[in-house]
Each structure stands twice: as structure tokens, then as C-alpha cells.
Structure 1
Amino acid sequence: MKLKKYFYLSTALIFALYSCSDDEEAGKGFTPKVFHVMGKVEKGPMIRGSHVEMRTLDEYMVPTGNSYTATIDNNLGDFNYGALKIDSPYAKLTADGYFFNEVGGELSEGTIKLDAIVDLKDNSSINVNVLTHLKSKRIHHLVTTEGMVFKEANAQAQKELLTQFGLQKYASKDASQFSITSGDDASGALIAISSLVLTDKSDAEIVEFLSILNNEFGTEGAFSQETKKKIQSGKNYLNQRLDIISENIKNRYQELGLEVKVKDLAYYFDWDNDGIAGNELDESESVILSSKELNVPAKGGEYTIIVKSDKPYYLNPPSFDSDTDLEELPQNNITEEHFFSSLYEENTNIPSPKIELDKTINNNIITIKVTPAHFKEDLSTTITVYNARGKVAAVIAVKQEGDKNYWGKHDPVRLGKNGISFVLGIQETMRNAVSGQLHLQSSYIHQENFKNPVPYYPYDDRIGKTWDYYYNAINRWLTLKDVDASMLNCYQSFINTHLALAYYQLSSRWSGVPFIMGHPTDPFISIPRTDEAEILSRLENMLIDAMNGLDEHHYDAFQDANSMLFVSKNVARILLAYVYCNQKKFDKALPLLEEVIRKGDYHLEYSQATEYKNNAECILGYYIQTRNGEQCHPCLDYKDVMLTAAECLYHTGNTPKAKKYINQICEHKKLTVGQSDILKAIASLHYQINSPSYMNFIRRNGLGESFMGLSQGNLYQLLWPIPSSELDRNSQMTQNPGY
């Protein structure tokens, strides 16, 4: 105890002597000086008219009472206080205004605040940016709580912050001197971190995320594991957009009369999470392999290929790998393999031809095992090698001789007796799910007093039944998918399209849901929900792959089980377009919808607005038994296709053509809408025709308040509650906000 006491006394004495010997560093006894304070605010650049407030601080980071205000006088973000006689060298600058979003390539719709705490003795030309903002609270904490002087606190905060992003080698230069326009490593680091803050967020979400980062880093000097996962997700989102970000920055500054260079941004992200950004990438995106082609005999074989690099390489894009294995929900688990003795029509028991192989990579050594050929003609396939960023670095061509004594056929075969019965059962289940969903939507949107609507509750039996119908259909499709894969493997593209439809409907109404593509070994296992963005990304991949196995034909699901199963390429096109719309990738959705319109397989009918029949407008629907007889309840409808195309045209800047489609709907359905606000005109038509996509359109376009009349506090109702029955049986499931 005495030793500890002497140690504390000694430490206190040393600190006192140090403080007395360096009053200038601590700010004590500072003689007021004239500083010419100027700089710029870069989140892209903050735009003309934004404000920058400066308050002087004492050595303890307490405001001295003096403050100064400047206005950004151009779109480069420049501000200038002019000559000021300052009573303390320390100052906190706060910029508040609109900014250029380098990820989206457009000006923000909301404002943002960015801080910087600086020592004017070191530099009175200051760049306020995301880095200075994230440092500010940490500097304040280290000075006020840890007892550091400003210089030490600033240096420590600088190193800690850049280390969080693997950019610690750039920590010697103060963040207040980092600039987007400098074209150096500091510029690359600033753009990378600034872009991570933006990713695919709204302006409000950007402010919220900055606050989370600021609070966590301010007290701990590091981010939480949850936040690090969000940053990792942000890297994945930005991965394919780095060139676009560079071009957005160059184009913006070029518009402002300034030529800016941007370094290769890929080197400023820590793709493999080893704590150092850029060290995992070769200078070239391509890599040399010991062999780029395998010629395999019909009997198969095992082969080894070496990746000639000391950097890590992968056989799946690492940026898109999931941390969890997806498994099936426990309810409605079907084990009916015995039922499929006549899945296919008679005399069709030959597998579809493809090269079967297993591939692994370990320490950049690729091992490929090719099984014997189950096909007659020679076939070829490819194996892709990716770098740590997920870019294609090399492609291996695999060619295998066919077994000349083996006969097979490529086209999918028709269903047999039991297959027909099983598919009709799925059709009935999907019919109940779609019917339930449409009735729920209709009941909600047609309430008389919509400004105070009554939300659905988790224990509402209609919510639970609709949810269960969808998952029952999914489980049945997965059963059929597994059996087909073990036999002829000829229905996969069709089944995947039907699965994508069910998951699209689920995610549209409930956001994140359990995403299952296989049967669990444990029937009682609980499955967590998958984020909606991840579901949409997987559906995108599923549908792109499925389209390769689908053909062009007028799809009519009402004729028989075979016509219901064998969806056309148009069905996958439309679903993929809807997925893109929910991802707000309207430029990708539009060509798909325009292709459906151009092909002319479907067209508008002159009929009542809410009349749905199995006619030229019906692309995919189900017969529903009602009190008035059978009706066709739509799933994919041509009116909906045209309205969604108009939505995409609006978002991509082609308003005249959007109005053309709106007018066509109005003409054929004898409807009238105002067109001063295109989105609201489209919303009105969705509403008037009782479109199955109405709620999806409202949610992704943010029209819950302005069109539907929901209060801010009731916007959560744009999604439905997770059924209480699902929460009871699935311990890992969570409820949607607001319920």
C-alpha cells in the first residue's frame, strides 16, 4: 500500500512539473493572437449557404465564450473568417448544411452537422470532414476524462480512428488537413471512410449512423462489434461502386471548375479484415494460374491448380459470403419422398446433362474433383477465382468428354401422376397465401378514417394464416426441388422462380424473414430472420440464374399443373424488376419491364379498374373461390407492370414516357389522375385498381405520410407484424418495430 501511495505521489509531482514547464502546450498564459482562419467543409463538398460556427475553447475544452460565424460562399465548401484576434489557440468548428453525396452522385435532401476540434497554432487552414467529426468527441473525452493535453489527445484519437478502418499508416497527417481534392493517400482514406458512412442510406440514416459512430468512438476509441458488422456490410455495398464514386467526385468538381484526381479506392478498404487496408490486393486484378484449362476424360478425375501470388484468393466472392448457414423453418416440414415414384411422366428417368465437380482452395492451391460424366455430348463449364475484393481475377475452363454410351435429354419433362397432384397442392396453398395478402391489404387501405387507422396485431389470425400459407408453399417447393435434384434435376429454374415469388411477397410485407433454401437436420431448430436487403440480393441472384433455364412463352398458370409449374422468362423478368425496385435500382428494373411490354405477350384490356380475370392482363394469378363464384386474384399483372415501368421512368428522368403509360392505364380503365406529381399519380392508380403492389410502391417511395395520410408515428404499419404464433415457436425470431 505504501509503494502504491508513493507511486501516485510521484506521478502527480511529475505531472505538475510537466504542466508547469509547458504552459504554451497546455494553453495556459496564451497571449491573444491574430489568426487568419479559413478552410472548407467536405462531406462531399458542403454547398453554398451552409454555416460554419467557431467557438474558442480553453485547454480543458471548455468554451471561452467567444464564437464566430462564417457562411460557405461557394459549392466547393470554402469558408473564411478573415483575421480574428483569438483568446485561445483551441477552437471547435461546427458546419451545418446540405452536401454532395459522392456515393449517390447527387445533392442531399437533408442537412448534416460536422465538427472539428483544432489547435490554430498548428494550422489555421482547416478542413472539416467526417474524420474531424469522429475525432472531436474522442479528443474531448481524452482531455476532460483522461487528463491529456490537446496535442496528445489529438494524436491518439487520430491513430485510433484510422486504425478502426485499417488506415493507420496515414495517421501522421492530421485529419483537418485531409482533403478530397488533394489526390493523395489522405484523399483516398477520407473518401473511403466518408463513403462508408453514406453507403445506401437516406439522409436521416446518415445522421443516425454518424451519431452511433461518434458516441462509440468518443468514449471507447473503437467501434462495437455490431457497428463493425455494419461497416463490413457497407464495404460489401461499396465494393462494386468504387469506380462510380470516383467518377461522381470527378464530375462534381469538374462542374465546379476544378480538375480532381482520385486514387484507386480499392486500396483504402480492409477487404480481408486483417486490420490493414489494401495489403490483400495485387497491383493487377488478374492473377496467374499454373493452369487455366482442364481437359477431363469421361471417367472424371482430381486436379490441382496453383494461384501464383502471395495474396489471398477465393472461389466465392468473399465480400458476399454469409456468416450464417440458412436452414428451413421447423413448421410444416414435409418428408414425402416416397410420394414421388411418378414425379415425372413415364419413361423419363435420365438426368439433365452437366459437369459435376467439387472445388476447394487452401493456401492458394485449388483442388478440383470431377465426377464421371452422366451425359453423352462433350460439355464445358468454368470455375471463377476471385481476389479479396470479390473481383474476378482468373477463370478456369473445365472441359469434360461425354460418355458416348450414355443417352440423355436436356429439356424438362412433364409431370407424372403424383407430380401433378403435388404441384396442384402447392398451387392451392399459394392461392390461399395470395388471397389472404390481398384481403389484408384491401382491408387496411380502405379504412374510412385513414389518418388514424387500426393496425394489424401479431395475434390477428389472418396475419398468422397468410404467413403460414407462404411458408407451407415454400416447404413444399423445397421438397420438390430436393427430389428433382436427386433425379432428373430438370425443374430447378422453374422452382427457384416460384420460390422467389413467395419470398418477394413475404419480404415486401414483413421485411426481414427466415430465408430457407434447404431442409434442416433438426426439425425443431429455430431460424433467425434474414435482413430484407440480403433477401433481395439473394432473390436477384436466384432469378438471374433461373432465367438461363426458362424459355419465352405466354405463361398461363390456369390450364393445368404443368402450365402452372413451367413459368416463362417473362415471369422471372418481372419478379427481378420488382426486386430491383425494392432495392431502388430503378435503372436495372426498367429494361426488364420494357422488354415485357415490347414483346407484346400481354396487353391492357378495356375493363373496370378492379376487374381481374384470366385475360391478356393476367401474367400470373390464382383462381379464388368467393361468394360470387370463382375470381382471379392477381400476383403479377400487366397493369402493375406498366405502372412500375412508369415509376422507373420517373426515377430515371423520363417523365414524358412515364405520363404516356399513366395515360394508357387511365384510358383503358376510365380513370382520371392529376399528373403534377408523377409519383402520386402512380400511387393513385395503384390504389384505384387495387394493385397487388400498392403497399410495396408506397413503402419504397416514402409516400406513407404524403399520400396515404399516415402520421409519422404510424409509418411502421407499412409493414405487418410478425405473427405471435411464429414468435412462440421460433425463439430466434424478432418482432417488427412498432408492434
Structure 2
Amino acid sequence: MTKAICNLLILFIITVALFGCSEKEDEKTNSKNNVNGTIEKGPFLTGSKVTLYELDENLNQTGKNFRTETINDKGDFSFSEIELSGRYIELEISGYFYNEIIGRHSNSQINLNAITDLSGEGNVNVNILTHLEFKRVKKLMKEGSSFLNAKRLAEKELLQIFHITTEFKNPEKISLTDGDENAAMLLAISSILLYNKSEGEFSEFISKLSNEFAEEGTITSKLLLEEIYYGETGVNALSVMDNIKKYYRTQETEVVVNNIRKYIDGNGDGVLDENDETIGEGTEPIPPLEQDNEKLFKEYLKGTYVNASNYFQLITILDAVRCKQVTVSGVQINPYNTLIESAWTRAYSIMKNIHTVLEHDCSGFSFDVKPYVTSLRLYRGLIYLDMVQHWGGVPLVTSRFDGNDFNIPRASKKEVLAFIVSEITDVLSDLPEANSDDDLIFSKDLARAVLANAMLEEEIADYQGAATLLKAIIDNDKYTLLGTNNLIYKEKNMEELFSLELIAPTLFPLFEEVIKHDGSLHPIYRFTGVMLNYAQSLYRLGAYDEMKTVISQIRASLDKEKLEFLPESDACTEVANLWQEIINKDYGYFALLKQLELAVPILGIEGYETLYPIPARELDLNSNMIQNPHY
């Protein structure tokens, strides 16, 4: 065989081989595919739009796409016999969904995405996890990672944001109906991110999360982390689980929902552990109330007071923002504000715990429960007073009620204030005269201060009654004005009537940023406030000389000169200025300004802004709830 013939033979063999390979590759890259799956936020509803984009090896769209719709209210969709030349696809979804937080269909549509490799099976689910990893996977691929490694890393990084270290399936293989730990984890994260948001706010939020997560595989934005934090500590896991089961029953499907609480950092300590598994409503775990067990009885009360500390932290942040004492980027006073919704929810969670004790049969207890019970009744009045000062009329719940009965109308502010006055007046004589060594038992002086504060509200104005109560506190010589001394934050002292202990770490990191003091106590009622409220009541009674004397005493605690002359027109402003200078952001400034009719001129706000809006979620749940004007 000549050399030329040999060369021709080799060329022929190579050509045949290449043709054969090319033919096989064409068969592979132009294969027919069936792609099906489920879209879930909650489940997407019938008619949701599903677009499938073909991607090349670099995850760029090739220009080929296919469209379909979901076929039922469980979010199921299917593409049959579509021709794809590659193995990577992108799914884009738009539609209405079942909102597992409020237990209703969404009012508007949202968009979700997913990216996957079809070289295996053609089942692709779309959910919040596929959406959040979507851009991160693309970025890692551009940086040189393989698709498999990019997916694995993105999924690990994503779960770490929610303190989850356990390995799970690929997100596109997880469904809420699986009845396993993967499904529980997906539902937990979905509910955390949706908590207390409209669909528009939710879409904006997950878009920002996705963009930031794509860059470094983590979230560093304080505002985004705060939103996640509020979702973790505020979402009612039991309600979410129940809503999902009820919804699927309407679709003639029974689903198992594992405990999602183990994937929700409900106590906000940055670790998922057994403590989180016992949290029902985003509050500190509270032990059961057992008969004749004083230790457990006190533990129950301590749990209630920890929840109250969280409530007052939220109110403190909101008041500091409304009073323009701080500027917190992204925190706006509107019905969708997470702080407002969390405060409202916690207030009624506290009431529920209080009523559990008040309605418990304690007649057979071997220890004296009366000091605890009377203190709880005072505490209930204190919380309700704060609520009406911030929201106006609120639902007046004075006993335990069916947790599914959300349709309790608002009582007027006057009705709630009348209840507070009656309640505290009734328990006043049963409280100890002075502060007890037991932090769970309150004093007559705290009761007097709260009762006087209620009487300074315009709706039931009793300025003489307020002055008498406050004078009784002042005359017993148990307290000292500390001015701006930081001792008020660090230990029990002669200025304090009632402080809440800050548990480290505090539930709300933003609180530390707003308050900025070095100490473990958060003063709520203090002697300076009593003195300033007394000056306020004297002003209302026309006793200007006495008022001037009181103000001079307060000024002396700041080493300021005695007031020789105080024009009547400046009297209220002087009270407000001293409160701002001494008590500042701690508690009560906003309520004081409203009592003095100075909130609008001093803060430069509109009249309707002297009340906070009713949370949007409460309006969704309660058909009898009415929003405050102009919100």
C-alpha cells in the first residue's frame, strides 16, 4: 500500500469517526425533554405563568424559550416534549400564591426563579431557596466553578444565613408536601422572609437579598439582617404549620408538616437548638403553669416579663424614630413596619400569658400567690396604657380567648383607660409599699405612677387625682434624682421605680444602636419622670409657683441654676426639654409630648402621626379592625 493510499485511508477513518460523533452529539443536544415540577412560596395558584429558558454551558440564555401555566392551586406545571440542545435551564415564574403567614391568597403577584441541570431527571421545583441561590450560582460559574460545585457552595452559604448547618437536598428537589425535614426547612425559611410583609415589600426584600447574596455568599447589610431577625423572632410557627395543613386539605391533599420551629431562631441567639423547638409565637419559651410549684410559677412569670422587655425595646426604637431622636435608615412608620407588627403581637402574647395565670385555680397553692397576681394585674394595666398611648383604641382582651378568634373590635381609648384606672385602683392596696427584693412583685409606687400617667391622658383627664398620686410618691422620701447619672442603667438604685433587665444578647440589635448606654437595665418608670409628670399635673391645675419649685429641683440634679421666672407659655416646653435631656430615649417622651400637646409643633409631624398605624397583618386577620386615619 502506497503512502498516499495510507494517508487517504486514515483521513477516511477520521472523517467517519467525526461524522459519527457529530451525529451522536446532535442526537444528544437536540433531545426531547419533559420538564415538570411544583412552584411554592406557599403554593402558586392556577394560571401562574411559567417560562423556561434554555441556557448554554456558561448559563447564558440561547434565545430559545417555552411557556406554560400552572394547572392547579398546588403549583404544579409541566412542559412536554420540548426540544433542548443543552442540559441547563432557567425557570421564571410569575403568579399569585397562598400566603402561609396570614392564611389567605396573596393580593398581588410575585416572581421566582430557578436554575438547574437536566442531565438527571426532569423534575424541577421552584421556591424561595431556588430564587435566592439563582444569581449566586451564576456568579460562581463565571468565576470558574463547575455547575455542581457552584450549586453546592451556594446552598451551603444560603442555609448558614439562617443558622442551618445540616445538609439538605438540592432546593429544586424539595417540596412543601414531602413531609420531611427538607420540607420543614423550606417552609421555615419561606415564612421567616414573608413575615409581616405585603407582596410588594416581599418582592423587594428577596430581590435585595438575592443581589447581596450573589456577591459574597453572605448578607452583611444591617437592614436586611434586621428583617431576617424580626422574621425569626416574630413569626408564629404553629400558625404557619396549621395554615399549610388546612390549605392542602382544601385541595383534597393531606400533608405532614414537621416541626418548622427547629429551623427558626425564635429566641434570637444566633443558634438553632432545643430551646427554639419549644417557641410557639416568636417569644421566649414559657414553662407550663403547674399547681403548687412556686419555682415553676415564678419561671412562668419571668418568661412573661422577658417578653415584655422585648415589647418595650420595640416601642423604644419606634419612639426614638418618631421623635427624631435617631435616624435609622429604612425604618418608616407605616402599617407594614416590622417593629410595629412585632410590638403589637408581643403585647397580646403577654396578655395571653397573664390571663393564663389570672384564670388558673391557685386556691390550693401552699405559697402566697396574691402578690404575684396583683402585680400581674398592674402589669396588664401598664401594657394597655402604653398601647393606647401609641395606637389609640385597641381590642380590650381581659381573659383568654380562642386563638382562632381574631375578630375582636377596638375599644375606644377612653374605655381602655377607664379599665386601667379601675384595675390599678383595685389592686393598689394589695401591693407592698416599697420595691420588693423579688423583681416579680411590684410596689404601690409603681402602681401610683402608672395610674397617674393614665389620668394625665385627655380622654379621662383627672389632674387632681394624678397630682395626689404623684405627690404621695415624692413625699415618702425613698427616691433620689440622679439626673443623667449612668447608674440608672447599671444597678438597682434610688431613682428607679421599674426597670426591665436586658438579656444578653438583646432580642433586637437595633435597640442597642438606638439606646447606646452601658448597662443591663432599661428604665421604664423612674423618679425623674414622676417629678416631671407632677409638674405637668400642677400646670394643668394652675399651680405655677409649685410647678416652678418642682422644675427647679429637677434642674438642680443637672447642676443648673434655679428658675427665678417661668412664663406660663414656656412651662410645658420646659417640662418637655428636661424629659428630653434626662430621660431622653429611654421611655415615655412621645407620650409626654402628646399629653402636653407639643408633639406636632416640636416634632414637626402631622396630627394623625401622633398615633401609630394598626399593623397590616392585624387588619388582614381581623375583619372588625379599623385602621387609624390617613394610614
Quick one: higher RCO (CA 8 Å, sep 6+), 1 or 2? Answer: 2
The structure that is strand-richer by fraction is 1
TM-score by length of 2: 0.48
TM-score by length of 1: 0.41
